[in-house]
Structure 1
């Protein structure tokens, strides 16, 4: 489930008949221990946290490769690779911070943020302290980001040569042929072998449970007796695991765009649900483009917009734009419209310009970037390792083929792309875990806050409802008739008011509340963009 949320300005499920997962996956399955009782992992986490509390984090100038401006400072926290062996091999996680800007009397501690993934880095998050939506929160809290294990410079994972990973152009059939499916099966097998070969015995330790344990060690290293945390997208899942492992260590916790934590849905069925939900969001984009046909000339109805898109796909299959943008690269770029409507004007403009014989905007938005190839491949490697390790997956290709063929009949936009991304999990050789049954008992956990957009495609809103059912006393804030993935600190003042009330004052509604949607994006015509390019101050 690639569900990476932006923080604010920077950056349910359709009923289907699906195959029941009854065939055990490849590789051994062992229970996800450490969430109750005096297990080896629980003891190891306590040992590592005590060590981190004693050592702290030596913050200083950030390495140049992080690209972080002053006053952001950086440091590292050491955690065990294997929590069952807390004195064994240690790995260093990179951490970034901006100190609270208000007087010491206002300071409430550190606010730690994770943007999702798996595989995304939160190192950039302290820069949010300068944004208007975050300034009041940044007066009271040190704003802390970090790169989870495997990500960036935090014991980085790799499964494939980055140059090979971004090779282009590539096809992207919505209804793949049997021969194309066999090609992708071979690629998935090779990718899984690459992960096992490059990571070796360490591979099994890149899991959501270990991400939750790492979070507790980071809490201790920051000198916090209790954790204040905001997780977006995948960050909500290991945040939920944290509440189950360490309920007494939680101060305040925000779940922004929640993954469905039901163990039966981690991760295979959550990805099927995501594929269905993306079809709805793709339709929303086409409705918006049709509404602004005077600007984009892509069609006055959603069907006409779809035909324009298919025309671009067909032309790119015959002649890739710039030699690098084929249907696969086009589709990857267009998936972003399902995450955030800020992308709508950009992608509509690129399609419109291409059909007017100007491929440059599309090339700029969709062509692979060699300068970020290493980061892109690393992110995908971590994503794959965590999701494949976390839970059983079907190892029978017939199950994948049946389920995704069925879904693609009604939701073709994302379905097969999602399947190919996750297919290495069918051929995984590292041991699998059984997902933890996330839930807390009455009075065990302070009030937590869940934020959700009603039409979120990456994490459909049923996940927020399921999380609320499992976390006693949690409160749900819904942005109605909107589909942004990651809404906290963004463009909805109502949502931000609830977020501030909770983080700054500990105040929430009794159980649920809703906000009207943020305004739709403003279309930008090609003529207006041309005029803006003439202005020296134009962006």
Structure 2
């Protein structure tokens, strides 16, 4: 769309509906997801391919000037921070450049143990990986063997946090609450939401227009290759969770010969037809299933929570709470949108099952303040570059730029009305969060065809069977596309981010792969990790 188009100033305030950009995320705030000829291929004879090769060469020569991290970054010694310079547009590598923030914790083993750097992406799009090195400094027992052999490397992807952050709305406005109830009661409600979504898209252009055409997964994959070169690594060792799996899939397609070891955990379906409109519809179905799993668990533990001894009774309590918050927002700030932002962490992560049920139980017992404290927006989350607003902006920018989205409101309305009938928990909230893509102000790309390329080693794929944010079919699809890969399935489980859980069947294979490169002769199905206890 032309830059001379008339643009409305963003007016997203307390009436806005954006919930939280966490639906593809591997690291969300609650305990606490690309291109053909236009965007090019990292390994083809395109201008982008030549650009990334030149940027990587320059990065290899410059290296990274590692220093103590800035005090306000919250990353204490011995973690070190630095910068890697990349072009905004890989087709013009001598043009405008940005700096990407990176950090590291050095390996804890001997020189003989050392195997290089392990680079991490937690998901999003919009998630920061800068906390990854703390797995070493806090001596996380799940990563002791691997940190003995690898430097742990985190980074803020382009547009995120300290890496040329983008914005779509004033952060102070973004956190205002309560927002509109995501479930529309009339056509008038839908018109308001459509207007807000269009204004949000315009706000992205007003505040970050120069970056928007370049906020794509293939460009982030190219950035990843420049980071590899800056680290002095001939090949990349990579761990990606949630959206980070799609980043890994695109990297593995563009740079198959640059991969040494790659683990993808909780996998986005990389099928071109799935990116990204269909992916969000599939989430709506999967979230409903995992929401019911959590309700069944709450009912089975009624002696602890007193929310009902059947799923139907727990659901009745939820609907009662939702209706009350719609009529009179709790504490003046927690309406249905804020409730969904808080409660969605239960279908996301088993680690949230007890905390969410406990707060819900306290509310039913008469303690409203506990729920307000848990679900109200963090009004301090507006300072600096790391904010909910920035994460939401990057989520929107990447998903809207990666692929062509439907522009017909009739299609959005028809698809989401149909899904809402059977899968009401997340459907409309998800729809409004993504609707800015229907009026996106810059050209949308065609997703890359993810496939095996020359030199790609076996990739380890890890997935729980009932994952809500990245449904199981995504792991199957990537497994079929990456020949020689191995799939580890955690059956009867649905927590997002399997490699962070205690399950020796998974943990031992992750260690073995990263330490030896070996994979099982065939795919493996593991028993589930331990169910949370009240």
What interval of TM-score do these two structures reach, taking the shorter chain for normalisation? over 0.9
Residue 172 of structure 1: CA displacement? Answer: 2.6
1:85 pairs with 2:85: no
Partner of residue 484, structure 2: 473
CA distance in 2, matches of 1:153, 1:173: 31
Q: Could you report, residue by residue, the CA deviation over 1:366-387 in whole angstroms, capped at 9, with x for unpaired residues? A: 1101111351000000000000
**504-513 or 453-462: which moved more?**
504-513
Residue 363 of structure 1: CA displacement? Answer: 1.6
- Residue of 75, 99, 108 corresponding to 2:106: 99
1:407 pairs with 2:419: yes
CA distance in 2, matches of 1:522, 1:107: 39
Q: Secondary structure at the match of 1:456?
A: coil
RMSD over equivalenced CA pairs, Å: 1.7
Partner of residue 51, structure 2: 44
Contact 2:27 2:127 in 1 (8 A): no
Partner of residue 14, structure 1: none
Q: How does 1:444-459 map to 2 (within 5 A)?
A: 444-459=455-470
Residue 490 of structure 1: CA displacement? Answer: 1.9
Contact 1:95 1:146 in 2 (8 A): yes
CA distance in 2, matches of 1:327, 1:187: 17
1:393 pairs with 2:405: yes
Residue 30 of structure 1: CA displacement? Answer: 6.6
Structure 2: gaps spanning 5 or more residues: 1-21
Partner of residue 461, structure 1: 472
Contact 1:30 1:432 in 2 (8 A): no
Q: Secondary structure at the match of 1:168?
A: coil
1:56 pairs with 2:90: no
Residue 351 of structure 1: CA displacement? Answer: 1.2
CA distance in 2, matches of 1:264, 1:32: 17
Partner of residue 125, structure 2: 118
Residue 175 of structure 1: CA displacement? Answer: 5.2
Q: 1:176 to 1:260 in 2, by over 3 A?
A: farther
Partner of residue 264, structure 2: 255
Partner of residue 278, structure 1: 287
Q: How does 1:48-197 map to 2 (within 5 A)?
A: 48-129=55-136, 130-174=139-183, 176-197=185-206
Q: Normalized against structure 2, the TM-score is what?
A: 0.92
Contact 2:39 2:48 in 1 (8 A): no
Residue 200 of structure 1: CA displacement? Answer: 2.2
Contact 1:30 1:431 in 2 (8 A): no
1:211 pairs with 2:211: no
CA distance in 2, matches of 1:275, 1:176: 19
CA distance in 2, matches of 1:176, 1:416: 11
Q: Could you report, residue by residue, the CA deviation over 1:345-400 in whole angstroms, capped at 9, with x for unpaired residues? A: 11111111112221222122111011113510000000000000000000010000
Q: 1:137 to 1:426 in 2, by over 3 A?
A: same
Contact 1:2 1:118 in 2 (8 A): no
CA distance in 2, matches of 1:344, 1:361: 16
1:521 pairs with 2:514: no
CA distance in 1, matches of 2:206, 2:275: 25
Q: Secondary structure at the match of 2:524?
A: strand
Contact 1:241 1:438 in 2 (8 A): yes
Partner of residue 293, structure 1: 302
Q: 1:456 to 1:385 in 2, by over 3 A?
A: same
CA distance in 2, matches of 1:113, 1:193: 32
- Residue of 288, 312, 333 corresponding to 2:321: 312
Q: Could you report, residue by residue, the CA deviation over 1:17-46 in whole angstroms, capped at 9, with x for unpaired residues? A: xxxxxxxxxxx9973322452110000000
1:432 pairs with 2:453: no
Q: 1:35 to 1:96 in 2, by over 3 A?
A: closer
1:337 pairs with 2:349: no
- Residue of 232, 237, 240 corresponding to 1:231: 240
Q: 1:242 to 1:173 in 2, by over 3 A?
A: closer
CA distance in 1, matches of 2:353, 2:201: 34
Residue 319 of structure 1: CA displacement? Answer: 2.6
